[in-house]
């Protein structure tokens, strides 16, 4: 009788753990265009960029994005170019704590309503009232 032993480093249907493999970044150009049409989450001004939120938060099931990589496009909020530079110029979490807005909650809501400008403006307005 001959026995075959599986190579522990070989992927099988039962050995693959998708969470341990590097996953491709999810891009969504239509969503980024939508975000750019909205007022700034920080100031309410127009002329915004789609700003990716890099820090992680288990509450939102978002992993921290390593340097040199962008998070998925779902994790974006609208901000003016100046605000965007401030966001990434230091401790990003401290920036958002100082603003008093949870950008990951807003990004989640905006992505769920992507394309609907009226709802997007309302989401931003409500987030600014909470501060």
User: Which one has a higher pLDDT value, 26 or 98?
Assistant: 98
Domain ranges of the chain: 27-54+70-130
- The answer to whether the predicted template modeling score (pTM) of the entire model surpasses 0.95 is no
Report the range of poorest mean pLDDT among 45-49, 92-96, 119-123: 92-96
Percent over 90 (pLDDT), the chain: 59
With bands split at pLDDT 50, 70 and 90, how would you rate the model's confidence at 9?
A: very low
Three-state SS sequence of the chain: CCCCCCCCCCCCCCCCCHHHCCCCCCCCHHHHHHHHCCCCCCCCCCCCEEEECCCCEHHHCECCCCCCCCCCCCCEEEECHHHHHHHHCCCHHHHHHHHCCCHHHHHHHHHHCCCCHHHHHHHHHHHHHHC
The reported pLDDT for the residue numbered 25 is: 80
Residue 16 pLDDT exceeds 50? no
């Amino acid at each position: 009788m001959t026995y075959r032993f599986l190579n522990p480093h070989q992927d099988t249907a039962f050995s693959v753990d998708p969470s341990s493999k590097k996953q491709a970044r999810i891009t969504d150009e239509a969503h980024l265009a939508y975000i750019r049409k909205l007022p700034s989450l920080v100031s309410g001004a127009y002329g915004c960029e789609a700003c990716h939120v890099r820090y992680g938060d288990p509450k939102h099931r978002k992993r921290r994005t390593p340097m040199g990589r962008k998070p998925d496009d779902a994790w974006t909020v609208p901000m003016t170019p100046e605000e965007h530079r401030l966001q990434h110029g230091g401790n990003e979490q401290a920036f958002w704590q100082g603003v008093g807005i949870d950008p990951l909650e807003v990004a989640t809501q905006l992505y769920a309503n992507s394309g609907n400008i009226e709802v997007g403006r309302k989401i931003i307005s409500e987030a600014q009232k909470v501060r």
